[in-house]
Amino acid sequence: MGKYFGTDGFRGEANVNLTVMHAFEIGRYLGWYYGREHKARIVIGKDTRRSSYMFESALCAGLTASGADAYLLHVTTTPSVAFIARADDFDCGIMISASHNPYYDNGIKLINGRGEKMDDEMLNGIEAYIDRANAGEKDSLPYATKEKIGRTVDYAAGRNRYIGFLISLATRSYKGKKVGLDCANGSTWMMAKSVFDALGADTYVIHNNPDGLNINVDCGSTHIEQIQKFVIEKGLDVGFAFDGDADRCLAVDDKGNIITGDHILYVCGKYMKDSGILGDKKIVTTVMSNIGLYKALDELGIGYEKTAVGDKYVAENMRANGHILGGEQSGHIIFGRLANSGDGILTAIKIMEAMCESKQPLSVLAAPVVMYPQLLKNVVVDDKDETLNCDEVKTAVAKIEADLGADGRVLLRKSGTEPVLRVMVEATSHEKCEECVEYIIAAMRDCGRLIKVK
């Protein structure tokens, strides 16, 4: 990860860590970079945060000042920007969103012309340009003049094109299916219902009244209990919860059970295998996926890969190895033949496909995945690498791994931005998880490296 851009864009509190000048400078650099040999075309989307409009204007100012044309999708989802960037031959796409973060945060996500997260080389170039500006150096990038100055273009038609794409994916009508949607007062607030209505579902929606300040507030995929309650109260067949920019989706089955990203990978993977689509391809997961998923996949004879945490790494593995399904426990699910990144509404459609084609409720489809209790604690240490290499810690981890055997696992993971180690244990009971985590933390204390447990 770079100085400004993490695995999911440049994110921070609006006008504190992420300012309008940052947005302007990002626009300046992108407009210059892609406009060196032709008139650059860059598509922009935003979520419902109040500050998204401010950042949209700043990005447009930077882009057009460098000579690029900025095409505005207005309030839309991150996956729609990725789709339009690829389908309509844009040089790149920009999404203004802080995903599941609170309204006062915002972010700038960059997407290349193939609909993938932007490569590190480009991000490094932008960061260097921002640093030069912060240092007060004279702007080295030329400004466009006269007829070369860029323009902004209303491109709401692109959003409609994406909706049409989603509708075209359904294999059959959803007539008779009662579907609940939690739109998180975010990007899907109008789009998701339009899609499910068009496919014939009886659609019930909550949290679809954004006011600029209520995105993700006690709703959406980070507060799955809301759609759980809604599904039970209304007697729905299924419920889907999106995050603020709809690049991820979690579900609730007909009995009110939470369907995590791991469950979704299993349900869709089994359906794809049974349909002959998956073939000998593996499912790509991250190291945070539950051991219950792996045991269920083993029963089906479906192979799997494990990557570092982040859908960016899942996508990289899928591209490198030709896999067609992957994702995270948090609900970022990638269907490789249809998209190059996570797409919440697309994920919901694929779950509906598995339900409709099998003629079984989601509770039955997901039942083989028996999730193991999992406990994660964040431990502040004075040196992450030294702590991981401490003999006491290595001995403690080895002892726990031997004790758990095939009925659990241990994961120690470094935070990318803080002096924190994440200690995670899966076991057959919550009590066992707590015992094992505390044993490892005690070893860190014995090393003299532990500062505090968050």
Q: What residues act catalytically?
A: 99
Q: Which residues of 101-135 are buried (b: 16+ CB within 10 A; e: fewer)?
A: bebebbbbbbbbbebbbbeeebbeebbebbeebee
Residues near 336 by beta carbon (within 8 Å), at least 6 away in sequence: 318, 319, 323, 324, 325, 326
d(CA 412, CA 408): 14
d(CA 347, CA 326): 11
By the 8 A CB rule, do 98 and 106 touch?
yes
Query: Residue 89, Cβ neighbours under 10 Å: how many?
Result: 9
What is the DSSP secondary structure assignment for residue 139, as one 8-state letter?
A: P
Helix (H, G, I), strand (E, B) or coil at 381: strand
d(CA 445, CA 295): 34
Select from 94, 109, 82, 9 the least CA-distant residue to 45: 94
115: left (phi over 0), alpha (psi -120 to 50) or beta: left
d(CA 81, CA 108): 12
Select from 69, 44, 55, 65 the least CA-distant residue to 22: 55
The pairing of strands 152-154 and 105-112 is unpaired
